[in-house]
Structure 1
Amino acid sequence: MTTDDFAALQPKNAPRGSEAFEAKRAAILQAFQDKVPPEYRLPRDIIENAPLDVSGIPATCGILTADEIAITQDYDAFGLAAAIATRKLTALDVAVAFAKRAIVAHQLTCCLTQWFMDEAVAQAKQLDAYLAEHGKPIGPLHGVPVSIKDHIPIAGTASSMGCLSSIVLDKQDCQMVGILRRLGAVFYCKTNQPQTLMHLETDSLWGRTINPFNTHLSAGGSTGGEAALIAMKGSVLGVGTDIGGSIRGPAAFCGIYGFKPTSYTLPMQGFLTPPSLAELNVLCSTGPMCRSLRDMDLFMRGILAYQPHLLDPRLVPIPWTGLQTAPKKVLKIGIIENDGFVEPQPPVKRALAWARKLLTDSQNAGLVEVKPFRPFGAAEAWCKIRRMYWPDGGSGSRGAILSTGEPLHPLSEWIWKDAESSGMLTAADVSNMRGDRDDFRLAFARDWEEQDVDVVLGPAYVGPACAHDTAFTWTYTSLYNFVDYPGVVFPTPIVSQAGERYDSGYTPLSDACEQAKQLWEDTNFEGAPINLQLVARKYHDNELFGALAKLKGILELQ
C-alpha cells in the first residue's frame, strides 16, 4: 500500500491489473490514507530502510507515548478488561493507544484494510460514561479493542471476499460482532486477507501482509492481517476464520495463540455473501486469535453465554467449561513426528523435541502419558480436500476477480488448479464426495481410538512462516478441517536460526516433502517463531481446553 506520502512496507509487490482496476485501487488506498493524521505516519526512511525484524519499531518510533506503549504491550485481553473495569485505565486511553499502534503496525506489515479511530474513540467515551454512571462494566470485554477480519461485517464499514468486485457496505453487524459489541468490545480496524480467502498468503488489493519478525516471509493466511497486527501488539484480541488452517497457520507464522473450534460452535451468520461453495463438504469455523490461553477462554465464554444457537439453529449448543474442564487424571498425548506425507523442517522438529522433553520429564509421570502418533491418511485427505474446496472448478472466484480487471495472484491460481480441469461438478458428484469424506472421517476416528490418545500434539505447519507465494503445504492443519476436529496453536520458545539443516539421514516422504526441503534451502527463515498445535476429537473443544490447562505449567504457556 503506497501513495505519495504514506506507505506500507512491501518487499514483494503483488501483480498489477488493468488501468481501470489500478485507478479504483488507488482511490481506495487514498481514502484509507486520508484518515491517517500526519503525526501517525512513519518517516519514509524507516520504511525504505526497514530491518528484517520490524516488530520493535512501534515502541521506538516516537509516535506512541510511554503510557501507550505500556497499554499495548503489558496486557492480554483478560488483563486489559480487568484494568478498565477497576478504572486503572480508561476505555478512551486504551482505544487511542491501540488505534495508534495499529496504524503504525500497518505501515510496517500492511495488515489493515480499514482503520476507523474516530468511531473507536466515540465508542470508548460512551463506555467510560456507562462505567462512571453505573459503577460496573457493560460486559466482560468492556473497553477491550477487538480487531476484525475484513470479510466479517461491522455496521458502517465495508467487507469483502478479498477482491474488488466483492466489496460491500454493511448496514448492520453480523451476529458475532453484535454479541462482541454487547460484551463491550471496541472496534477500530479491519484486517487484511487474501484474494479468494482461500490460501495461506495474505495478499489482496490492499497489499501483501508481511511477517513482523522476518519481512521476507509471509504472515500467513487467510487471517494474516489479524496475526501480524496481534504480533505487532496493535491488537490484543482478533476474530478469524479457518477452513484449511486460516486461523492456525497465520497464528503459527506470527507466534501468537489461535483456536479453530469444531464447526458450528461459534456464530458465523452473515460472514460470507454468497455462501462458500467449499462448505458443501468442508465446513468453515470462526475463532479467536490473541495473546494467551485465558484470552481464548474469555472469548469463548463471552460469545457462548449469549446462546447464539437460539438465533442460528445450525449451531450446536454445547455449554462452555473451557479451562475449567477437568482433564483426565493421566492425559494421554500423541506426538506427531511427521504425518507420513511431509517431514517438518528443522526448527519444527526442534520444537517437537522441546515439548517431548518437558512432557516426559519424570516429575510429570503421573500427569501425562506420551506416545507416538501417526495421523491417518494425511496425503489422501489433502488430495480430497483440495478438490472439495472448488466444486465449480474455481470458475466463480476467477470470474469475480477478473470482472474488474483485477489480476490473479499466484496462490489464487495455484489453489484451484487441481479442481480446474474437472470444471463444474454435478450434484451427484458433490454428494459422492460427501460420502468419501464421511468414510474417511469414520476411518480416522477408528484409527485415533486404536492409537488410544486423548489429544494430539504436532506441527502447526511444515515449517516456520514460508517465503512469499510459497504456502503450498497445509496438511498439518487442513487434515483437521477435513475431519472437523478442534485445534489450538500456541507459541514455543523455539525460533528459526540461520544455518539449520535437515538430518543427514533425511529421506523424502513424497514430492511435496522434497519441495518443502528445497524451499527450506532456498529461503532465509531467521527469526521466524515456531508454534505447535494441540488437537482433540470433534466436539471435544472443552476437553481440548482442559488439556491445555493441564499443559500450561508443563509447557510454560501464557
Structure 2
Amino acid sequence: MTAKSLSIVQPTPVPLGTPEFETKRALLLQAFAEKIPSEYLLPKDLIDNPPLDVSGIPATCGILTPEEIEITETYDAVALAEAIAQRKYSAVAVATAFLKRAIISHQLTCCLTQWLVDEAIDRAKTLDTYLAENGKTVGPLHGVPISIKDHMPIAGTFSSMGCLSTIVKDETDSHMIAILRDAGAVFYCKTNQPQTLMHLESDSIWGRVLNPFNIHLSAGGSTGGEAALIAMKGSVLGVGSDIGGSIRAPAAFCGIYGFKPTSPLLPMKSFLASPSAAELNILCSTGPMCRSLRDMDLFMNGVIAAKPYLVDPKVVPFPWTGLKTPINRRLKIGIISNDGSIEPQPPVKRAISWAKELLSDPKHAELIEVKEFKPFGAVDAWSKIRRMYWPDGGQGSKGAILATGEPLHSLSEWIWKDEEPNGMQTAQDVNLARRERDNFRCDFAESWNEQDVDVVIGPAFVGPASAHNTAFYWTYTSLYNLVDYPGVVIPTPIKAKADEKYDADYVPLSDPCKHVKELWESSNFEGAPINLQLVARKYHDNELFGALAVLKDILGLE
C-alpha cells in the first residue's frame, strides 16, 4: 500500500536533516496526512503552481458549501457565538466549516501541526446536546472554534517547541486551555511555529508557514501559523504567546488583530514542557489573535472573569473594563516615525502618514492631541534583550535540535549567534542583567513621562512581512517586551506596492537600517498588508483598550 501524503505549497522549503531525522519527520507528516479525507484535497496542479496571493482560494476551490463560506467569512468571534447561541448554526456545523477551511488553508500556507477532527466534532455534538436540553449555553464561547499554538498543551494531543526532540503527549489541559474549554470553546487544530519558538518566522519540522497575501513572504513568528490561519479565515480566534513580538509581528504580517498584554495578566501555567531560560529576565505574555477589537475584548473578559490568579499566583488580579474603559480627558497620542535605529520601509511610512493625517484632523481636536514621540534607547534595548534571551548562549536549544539529526534553521543560528561565544552565564551575570533591565525600564518610563503621552502609535515591524529567512530585526516589538508594556497591532488599508522606492533623501540611521533597505530592494513585497502598533504604559491595558475605543471610528477599525 502506498503511504498517503499531503501536498503543501512550499516555495522555500525548510532545510533537510540527517536521513534518520528525515525518516522520522516523514512518519510525522504521514500521520497528519492519513487524517485528511480525499475530498478535502486541493488539485495537485494548484499546489505545484500557486498564485502569489492564495487568500481567496478557500472560498473558490469548491470544497466548502455556501453555508460554510458564510460561517467562516462573515462572522467575528462575538457574532459567531451569538449565532450559535440563537441556534442559527449548530456547533457541529460551525466546527465542520472551520475544520474544512483550516485544512484547505494548511495546504496553501503550511499553518497547522495537528488537525483535531474527531475531538472537535465530538465536543461540538456535546455542546449542541447541552444547548438543546438546557436552553442555554455553557459559557460565552459556546461552540466557538479556537485554534491553539502548538506549544500550548491540550489534553490528548501533542505539543512541542518547534523541533522533533521536544514533542510530548499531553494528558491534561494547560491552564489557559482549561479556562477556554470551560467557556465552551471547541479546539480543532494546533498551529505551526518556529524551531526554538524564537524567530519572527514560523519554520519547523512541519514546514515553513507562508504569508497568504504573498507566499514568498513570511507569516511571522513565533505565532505565525495562527496568523496565517486567521488571515485565511480558517480560524476566527486564536491564542498566541509573545516574548519579542510573537503575537504582534505575525498579526501585523498577516493583517489581523493581535494583543500582547502586560505579562502577568493572563495565565501561562504549563505552556512549556521545559522552562525558558529567557524568562529569567524577559517575561512572556499570552493573548488573542483575531478579526476585531471586540473579539480581543471578548477573550480578555472571559479569561480574566475565570479568576486565573486563584490557580496561578504569578497571575495578577486585574479587573477588566477593556473597550468600555472611559477616557475622561483629551487623549494624548505620540506618533513614532522611527525608533532612532531603523527607518521603516516605504509602505510602513505610508501607513504612519495615513494614521497621522486622520488623527490630526481638526474635527478630532477635542478628543485627541497628536505629537511626535521618540522611543527611548531602541538601539540599547535591542542589544540588551538579545543577551537576555540566551543566558545559556543558546546551548540548550541548539543541543535539543541537533540531538535528533535535525538541521539548524538559519534564523535559529542568527538569533543566538552573538551570545553563543559567551556560553553559559553565571548567576551573577543574570543578576546584573536584571539590574540593567530595571534601570532601563525606569529611564524609559521617565522619557515617556517627559514626552507626556497616554499611548503611542507606530510601526509594528521595520517593514511589511519579511521575505523568507530575513526577519532579523525585532526592534519595534521587542522594546516593549523589555519594558513590559502592553501593545495591540491594528490593520490599516495600506498594502505594499511592487514599485515602491525609498525617498531620494534617505540617510541610514545605522548599519541595520542600511541592511533593511537592502532587504527591501532585493525582494518583492507586493500585496503585503501593513499594520500599526498601539502601546500604553505597563498595567495600562484597560486604558489601551479605552484608547482603541476612541480611535475605532477615526481609523476605521473593526
Give the 5 Å matches for 1:129-140: 129-140=129-140
User: 1:335-369 CA deviation, whole Å, 9 max, x = no partner?
Assistant: 00000000000000000011011101111010000
In structure 2, what residue type is equivalent to 1:473? Y
The CA distance in 1 between the partners of 2:7 and 2:309, in whole Å, is 43
Corresponding residue for 2:546?
546
Q: Is the 8 A contact 2:244 2:474 kept in 1?
A: yes
The CA distance in 1 between the partners of 2:526 and 2:161, in whole Å, is 32
Corresponding residue for 1:353?
353
Corresponding residue for 1:519?
519
Q: Is the 8 A contact 2:4 2:30 kept in 1?
A: no
User: 1:452-491 CA deviation, whole Å, 9 max, x = no partner?
Assistant: 0000000000100000000011100000000000000010
Corresponding residue for 1:371?
371
Q: Secondary structure at the match of 2:398?
A: helix
The CA distance in 2 between the partners of 1:22 and 1:144, in whole Å, is 36
Please state how far the C-alpha of 1:273 moved relative to its aligned partner. 1.9
User: 1:378-431 CA deviation, whole Å, 9 max, x = no partner?
Assistant: 000000000100000000000000000000000000000011111000000000
In structure 2, what residue type is equivalent to 1:448? W
The CA distance in 2 between the partners of 1:382 and 1:490, in whole Å, is 23
Corresponding residue for 1:504?
504
Please state how far the C-alpha of 1:274 moved relative to its aligned partner. 1.0
Corresponding residue for 2:458?
458
Corresponding residue for 1:226?
226
Q: Is the 8 A contact 2:251 2:289 kept in 1?
A: yes
Q: Secondary structure at the match of 1:421?
A: helix
The CA distance in 2 between the partners of 1:162 and 1:4, in whole Å, is 23
The CA distance in 2 between the partners of 1:10 and 1:508, in whole Å, is 34
The CA distance in 2 between the partners of 1:194 and 1:521, in whole Å, is 26
Please state how far the C-alpha of 1:328 moved relative to its aligned partner. 3.9
Q: Secondary structure at the match of 2:196?
A: coil
Q: Secondary structure at the match of 2:215?
A: coil
Does residue 31 of structure 2 align to residue 31 of structure 1?
A: yes
Does residue 344 of structure 2 align to residue 344 of structure 1?
A: yes
Corresponding residue for 2:481?
481
The CA distance in 1 between the partners of 2:533 and 2:223, in whole Å, is 17
Does residue 156 of structure 2 align to residue 163 of structure 1?
A: no
Corresponding residue for 1:385?
385
Please state how far the C-alpha of 1:89 moved relative to its aligned partner. 1.1
The CA distance in 1 between the partners of 2:328 and 2:215, in whole Å, is 42
Does residue 313 of structure 2 align to residue 304 of structure 1?
A: no
The CA distance in 2 between the partners of 1:504 and 1:268, in whole Å, is 47
Q: Is the 8 A contact 2:32 2:115 kept in 1?
A: yes
- How does the TM-score come out when normalised to structure 2? 0.99
Corresponding residue for 1:256?
256
Please state how far the C-alpha of 1:233 moved relative to its aligned partner. 0.2
In structure 2, what residue type is equivalent to 1:343? E
Corresponding residue for 1:110?
110
The CA distance in 2 between the partners of 1:268 and 1:167, in whole Å, is 18
Q: Is the 8 A contact 2:5 2:34 kept in 1?
A: no
Give the 5 Å matches for 1:179-198: 179-198=179-198
Name whichever of 326-335 and 533-542 sits farther off.
326-335
Q: Secondary structure at the match of 1:215?
A: strand
In structure 1, what residue type is equivalent to 2:500? E
Does residue 322 of structure 2 align to residue 322 of structure 1?
A: yes
User: 1:500-549 CA deviation, whole Å, 9 max, x = no partner?
Assistant: 01111100000000000000000100000000000000000000000000
Corresponding residue for 1:405?
405
The CA distance in 1 between the partners of 2:316 and 2:470, in whole Å, is 36
Q: 1:517 to 1:498 in 2, by over 3 A?
A: same
The CA distance in 2 between the partners of 1:148 and 1:176, in whole Å, is 10
In structure 2, what residue type is equivalent to 1:287? G
In structure 2, what residue type is equivalent to 1:487? G
Q: 1:395 to 1:5 in 2, by over 3 A?
A: closer
- How does the TM-score come out when normalised to structure 1? 0.99
Corresponding residue for 1:53?
53
Q: Is the 8 A contact 2:162 2:196 kept in 1?
A: yes
The CA distance in 1 between the partners of 2:116 and 2:539, in whole Å, is 37
Corresponding residue for 2:64?
64
In structure 2, what residue type is equivalent to 1:494? I
Corresponding residue for 1:421?
421
In structure 2, what residue type is equivalent to 1:495? K
In structure 2, what residue type is equivalent to 1:407? P
The CA distance in 1 between the partners of 2:128 and 2:552, in whole Å, is 34
In structure 1, what residue type is equivalent to 2:22? E
The CA distance in 1 between the partners of 2:173 and 2:369, in whole Å, is 45
The CA distance in 2 between the partners of 1:327 and 1:141, in whole Å, is 28
Does residue 144 of structure 2 align to residue 144 of structure 1?
A: yes
Structure 2: state its 5+ residue gaps.
Answer: none
Q: CA RMSD in A?
A: 0.7
The CA distance in 2 between the partners of 1:552 and 1:412, in whole Å, is 38
In structure 2, what residue type is equivalent to 1:213? F
Q: Secondary structure at the match of 1:196?
A: helix
The CA distance in 2 between the partners of 1:430 and 1:157, in whole Å, is 35
In structure 2, what residue type is equivalent to 1:192? N
In structure 2, what residue type is equivalent to 1:9? V
The CA distance in 2 between the partners of 1:539 and 1:518, in whole Å, is 38
In structure 2, what residue type is equivalent to 1:103? I
The CA distance in 2 between the partners of 1:474 and 1:72, in whole Å, is 32
In structure 2, what residue type is equivalent to 1:358? L
The CA distance in 1 between the partners of 2:245 and 2:5, in whole Å, is 36
The CA distance in 1 between the partners of 2:251 and 2:34, in whole Å, is 30
In structure 1, what residue type is equivalent to 2:536? A
User: 1:63-96 CA deviation, whole Å, 9 max, x = no partner?
Assistant: 0001000000000000000000111111110000
The CA distance in 2 between the partners of 1:465 and 1:434, in whole Å, is 32
Please state how far the C-alpha of 1:5 moved relative to its aligned partner. 4.4
Q: Secondary structure at the match of 2:153?
A: coil
Give the 5 Å matches for 1:70-85: 70-85=70-85
Q: Is the 8 A contact 2:102 2:234 kept in 1?
A: yes
The CA distance in 1 between the partners of 2:69 and 2:253, in whole Å, is 24
Q: Is the 8 A contact 2:4 2:34 kept in 1?
A: no
The CA distance in 1 between the partners of 2:14 and 2:132, in whole Å, is 49
* Residue correspondences, number: 556
Please state how far the C-alpha of 1:151 moved relative to its aligned partner. 0.1
In structure 2, what residue type is equivalent to 1:188? Y
Please state how far the C-alpha of 1:4 moved relative to its aligned partner. 5.8
Corresponding residue for 1:244?
244
The CA distance in 1 between the partners of 2:396 and 2:5, in whole Å, is 37
